[in-house]
Structure 1
Amino acid sequence: MLIVEDLLLLLLDDETGTPAKAGTLPYALGGAVLVELAMLGRVDTAKGNLLTGAQVTAVGDGPLPDPLLQEAYDEIARKPRSVQTLLLKIGGGLWDTVVERLIAQGQIRRESKRVLGLFRTTRLPAADTGHEAELRRVIRAVLVDGAEPDPRTAAIIALLSGSGALPELRPLIAWSGDVHRRAKELEKGHWGAAAVGTAVARTAAAIAAASAAASAAVITTTVTS
């Protein structure tokens, strides 16, 4: 499974299929794809200025192992752009794509029904929780027990932390100062190969900034309505 698939699986409530941090989900999904490309050595993130943030450039050649990654890479290869721009460009249309992939894999299922005989509602509850349970076990081992993460787990935790969704995972992690500190260390790229850690840190920072801006916009709209 791709990192973006694991990330969405973790964010979805097992009973309702409602994602945590739904308003900022496109940024997290786009970030997951950027991170996977960075871990494959197919994008480079150079530090930009304060206005534009880190710039992402496509590097390397040859086909990628998954069409979702290939489509994102081809978009990046068109021209270098900031992480913030690419998060929404790549992640904006990923919800439907990744949901369908998770359904096809048997990780979640689609349930549709009518409410009051009029309105059709759709839920996306878990279908097979084995893979997700293992993901949560490994994440908890890293954050709570202090286990050393593999690069993939570190990247997933960094994305969850950057998006602000980590405290909302179900079942809840026993949140503490040590857990928060460890998550922030991984979010800042303090692990693994320097180039990959830097790419993850810059992507997580962009997700955090985009999520904060989106949340502020929602609050402003609510207050002024």
Structure 2
Amino acid sequence: MSLPSRSLQLRDSHTKRKTIINTLKDKQVRMTTLTHRARRTEVGKNSEKKVESEEDTNQDRSPDNEDSGDSKDIRLTLMEEVLLLGLKDKEGYTSFWNDCISSGLRGGILIELAMRGRIYLEPPTMRKKRLLDRKVLLKSDSPTGDVLLDETLKHIKATEPTETVQTWIELLTGETWNPFKLQYQLRNVRERIAKNLVEKGILTTEKQNFLLFDMTTHPVTNTTEKQRLVKKLQDSVLERWVNDPQRMDKRTLALLVLAHSSDVLENVFSSLTDDKYDVAMNRAKDLVELDPEVEGTKHSATEMIWAVLAAFNKS
């Protein structure tokens, strides 16, 4: 073969090799670009998911949805917490000298229904500005899952004309002179609440003999849950004291008001040292001695709490 023809062949072979190499490079570049693009898309999606997750978390942690207890704690109603604070741990019954707890439990029912969005106070008018003059109105009659709450809700729905907070506490307690309204009395409230606590594993049921009669008692078995509740209230007036009821957790505020009205607040602070006991009692006293009419106008979410306190202050 002549030299020119061989040179041509070598040139053609070199050109083909260069073309193949360039083609492979182009494919590699396109694949790399696609890979980066896919990664960017995936990162973008993950970022969007992360933002959505953070928004959901922030919404769950908003003041309206915030729960003062740990998610692993047993969920108790305000009535159950008040009764638990009033019970003697070993004996399983409340003090025989306590004649306030029955009314306190009924007040707790009204506050619990308001917090669950079932009832509310009618808006203030020129003629009815005071909390004790405003009627309790029905917002929703959907069941709550609690027998006492649903029974009260049924009474409120069926009552015409509507009644005030103070009247409802009297009707639910049975302290009324109207024989036609005795049907609204909630019977065996303490026993029914105690049975709920037994079902939740906090109390147990026993029979005790008191010479002339036998009485069913409910000693505390889950002392951890009761101590958690006591510690929460103690901290609310000590380490976590904010000196402003509008900044307090609504359920904690309600429980302090109900514990005072039910005459069981002494049980909450009895385990404190003398110095801390004095501070806690003085702060709790200052709280419940605030003017309910003034505090009730500051936030509609706490109106029912202050209305219940106003009813107990008047009675």
TM superposition score normalised by structure 1: 0.77
1:125 counterpart SS class: coil
1:126 and 2:220 are equivalent in the alignment: yes
Query: Are the equivalent residues in 2 in contact too, given 1:163–1:204 (CA < 8 A)?
Result: no
Judged with a 3 Å threshold, the aligned counterparts in structure 2 of structure 1 residues 204 and 107 are, in CA distance, closer, same or farther, namely same
Structure 2: 5+ residue runs without aligned partners?
Answer: 1-75, 174-185, 243-247
Equivalent of 1:202, from 307, 310, 314? 307
- Where does residue 87 of structure 2 map in the other structure? 12
Instruction: Quote the Cα distance in structure 2 between the aligned partners of 1:74 and 1:141.
Output: 37
Residue type of the alignment partner of 2:219: P
Alignment of 1:98 onto 2:98: no
Amino acid at match of 1:101: N
Q: Specify the code of the residue in structure 1 equivalent to 2:135.
A: Q
Give the structure with higher Rg (CA): 2
Work out which of the residue numbers 107, 125, 146 in structure 2 matches 1:66: 146
The code of the aligned residue for 1:158 comes to V
Question: Which position in structure 1 is the counterpart of 2:238?
Answer: 144
- Alignment of 1:109 onto 2:204: yes
Sort the Cα spacing of 1:113 and 1:7 in 2 relative to 1 into closer, same or farther, 3 A: closer
Q: Which has the higher contact order (CA 8 A, sep 6+)?
A: 1
Q: In structure 1, the residue corresponding to 2:278 is in which secondary structure? A: coil
Q: Distance in 1 between matches of 2:255 and 2:294?
A: 12
Structure 1 unaligned regions, length at least 5: 211-225
What amino acid is aligned across from residue 73 of structure 1 in structure 2? L
Tell me which of 137, 159, 167 is aligned to 1:85: 167
**Aligned counterpart, 1:40:** 116
- Comparing 101-110 and 13-22, the one that deviates more: 13-22
Distance 1:25 1:7 in 2: 8
1:108: how far off? 1.5
TM-superposed CA distance for 1:178, in Å, is 3.0
Per-residue CA distance 1:196-219 (angstroms, 9 max, x = gap): 211110012213333xxxxxxxxx
Q: What amino acid maps onto 2:195 in structure 1?
A: E
CA distance in 1: counterparts of 2:294 and 2:216, whole angstroms: 38
- Greater Cα shift, 149-158 or 89-98: 89-98
Say whether residues 1:171 and 2:276 are aligned partners.
Answer: no
User: How far apart are the structure 2 equivalents of 1:44 and 1:198?
Assistant: 8
Q: What's the offset of the Cα at 1:144?
A: 2.2
- Mapped partners of 2:292, 2:105: distance in 1: 16
Mapped partners of 1:187, 1:169: distance in 2: 23
Alpha-carbon distance between aligned partners in 1 of 2:293 and 2:129, rounded to the nearest angstrom: 18
Correspondence for 1:216: none
Residue 30 of structure 2 is matched in structure 1 by none
Q: Is the 8 A contact 2:101 2:263 kept in 1?
A: no
- Paired position in structure 1 for 2:70: none
CA distance in 2, matches of 1:189, 1:112: 47
Root-mean-square deviation (CA, aligned residues, Å) is: 3.0
CA–CA separation in structure 2 for the residues paired with 1:108 and 1:189:
39
Task: Please list the CA deviations of residues 12-49 of structure 1 after superposition, one character each: whole Å capped at 9, or x if unmatched.
Answer: 12122232563122211111110011112221224658
Distance (Å, rounded) in 1 between the aligned partners of 2:271 and 2:135: 35
Partner of 1:157: 256
Moved more, 53-62 or 137-146: 53-62
Cα shift readout 1:142-196 (whole Å, capped 9, x = no counterpart): 11224454221111111112334323446355133334224545977859x8112
Count residues with an aligned counterpart.
Answer: 207
2:77 is equivalent to residue 2 of structure 1: yes
TM-score, length of structure 2 as denominator length: 0.57
8 Å Cα contact 1:158/1:187 also seen in 2: no
